[in-house]
Structure 1
Amino acid sequence: MTITARVSVIIPVYNEGESIVRCLDRILREVLLPAEVLLVHDMPEDTTVPYAQEVARTDPRVRTVLNTYGRGPANAIRFGIDSAAAPIAVVTMADGSDDPRQIDDLARLVDRGVVVAAASRYMPGGQQVGGPRLKRMMSRWAGRTLHWFARVGTCDATNSFKAYDTDFVRMVGIESRTGFEIGLELTAKANRLRLPVAEIPTIWLDRQLGESRFDLGRFMPSYLKWYFFAFGRRLTAERIMARRPAVPPAPADQTLEKESSASG
């Protein structure tokens, strides 16, 4: 009997190699809701692929898709959400920094009616362990000021570890094309639409697996754009939708070489 997924876990990957097995083991062990796990890669030769294939052969929840929207984490996340079969999408990283036990809790918040559910490092009970000092300071400052002055519904608008109502995301669209600012963009759009955003505390650990590719200087302009967008009067859905860039073709179902594994 086929079980319909209630949550799609979106993981952008880039040459994670064997370390992806440890990441998937944690997620598949801790996520109890009916789920699919989408590993989104930019190129067929990505070193994540053969290791993910081994896991996919034994666990049908795992599905690896080739991103055709363009390289980079923003495009991978956009492609993953567009590929999601479930009504709820949770974006998490492949580096071990996020707590997979909280995926179910975030998804349940969306199931209860919020459009964005954030795992928050900066609310009471949350914590950030490690990471570059400047990045920590700027992220905390942005999160706190957006919470205090823009009333965005979370103390941690910049964290990528969030759950989304996929209908909401597809309605407002994703304009980000560079880095990990999608979490901030969608939080800001929900705030301008006056749609509900909620949060739970999380303990974020600096990357445990592989090397970070976060480039603060390159991504900063996009973060600032969405930071300032969060402030302002209420917008209608029509005005938000009018901002959307041209919609690319819908992604095809690109399961990772299951056919080849089945044939030998």
Structure 2
Amino acid sequence: MKPRVTVVIPVYNEGDAILPHMERLLRDVTLPAEILIVHDTPDDTTVPYAEKLAMADSRVRPVLNTYGRGPANAIRFGIDAALAPVAVVTMADGCDDPRQIDTLAMLVERGVVVAAASRYMPSGQQVGGPRLKRLLSRWAGRSLYQMTRVGTQDATNSFKAYSTDFVRQVGIESRVGFEIGLELTAKACRARLPVAEIPTIWLDRQLGESHFDMGRFLPSYLRWYRFAYGKRLTLEQLGARAKRAEAAEMPARPVAIENNS
């Protein structure tokens, strides 16, 4: 049976800390699904546990990210590998509520291109986490919502569902951190396509350590925050922009120089 939703989970040396979250996720996702556990290297400490989960549940598929290291590349790889028309990105740390994956996916099935789990709308909440990060995220989400009328008050949250057709049309330019959620929300905003949200309660991780580096990732967030404020762009224009960015990353081919002396 073809899955209705692909759940993309980027991991980095989670070890056995991934197991409690995966147990809840496998119990709570009721739609036909594939769950991609995306790791950067074969020796990642998550891999043995992911393989055991895959043996016990056919929905689970550990996959090796070949796009380059880091969460942005892992998420890009996972969405590109998705077999379903909807991809939900969620973290491996247990901060997100897996009971909401079905609801987010069904919002995309109803026609929105991005469905966000929102900490900052009424009935949403963020419990724990660094105070400065929390304040900046809330300010960015609410100001974007008020100024651009994008359909979510939490554009920076990674816990979102996407139309895979939309993502493949507009492309993903992020390469550094977790800013893909903001990038794709900003692109939906510029394309004037529907975005929706549901309230979520985000709980700071209980096991392991966060891999979020604010100093490193903040410039990328600011780039996409600014991008959301702009004139309407077509899907073709957004896709062409992503292709230009990808082409600029490619190393120049060596040019043979003939020696005529």
Q: Same fold (TM over 0.5)?
A: yes
- Aligned counterpart, 1:246: 246
Distance 1:148 1:100 in 2: 28
Aligned mate of 1:217, from 212, 215, 218? 215
Which residue of 2 is the match for residue 227 of structure 1? 225
Question: Considering only CA atoms, is the larger Rg found in Structure 1 or Structure 2?
Answer: 2
Alignment of 1:94-113 (within 5 A): 94-113=92-111
Q: Distance in 2 between matches of 1:166 and 1:208?
A: 31
Q: Give structure 1 regions of 4+ aligned residues with deviation exceeding 2 angstroms.
A: 245-248
Corresponding residue to 1:189 among 187, 190, 197: 187
Deviations 1:178-235 (A, max 9, x none): 0000000000000000000000000000112210010001001100000010011111
| Contiguous gaps of at least 5 residues in structure 1 | 249-264
Partner of 1:118: 116
Q: Where does residue 177 of structure 2 map in the other structure? A: 179
**Once structures 1 and 2 are overlaid, which stretch shifts more, 110-119 or 238-247?**
238-247
RMSD, matched Cα: 1.0
Alignment partners' CA distance in 1, 2:173 and 2:158: 15
Q: How does 1:1-264 map to 2 (within 5 A)?
A: 3-244=1-242, 245-246=245-246
Instruction: Measure, in 1, the Cα distance between the counterparts of 2:225 and 2:165.
Output: 23
Instruction: Give, in whole Å, the separation in 2 of the partners of 1:32 and 1:179.
Output: 30
Q: Secondary structure at the match of 1:243?
A: helix
Unaligned 5+ runs, structure 2: 250-261
CA drift of 1:246 comes to 3.0
Give secondary structure in 1 for the equivalent of 2:123: coil
Letter matched to residue 179 of structure 2:
E
Q: CA–CA distance in 2 between the matches of 1:141 and 1:15?
A: 31
What percentage of residue pairs aligned between the two structures are identical?
74
Task: Please give the alpha-carbon distance, in whole angstroms, between the structure 1 residues aligned to 2:56 and 2:37.
Answer: 15
Q: Distance in 2 between matches of 1:148 and 1:6?
A: 33
Alpha-carbon separation, structure 2, partners of 1:209 and 1:168: 34
Residues 115-168 of structure 1, C-alpha deviation per residue, up to 9 Å, x if partnerless?
A: 000000000010000000000000000000000001111000000000000000
Question: Number of matched residues?
Answer: 246
TM-score by length of structure 1 reads 0.92
Q: CA deviation at 1:4?
A: 1.3
Q: Which has the higher contact order (CA 8 A, sep 6+)?
A: 1
Q: Aligned with 2:246: secondary structure?
A: coil
Aligned equivalents of 1:174 and 1:187: distance in 2?
Answer: 11
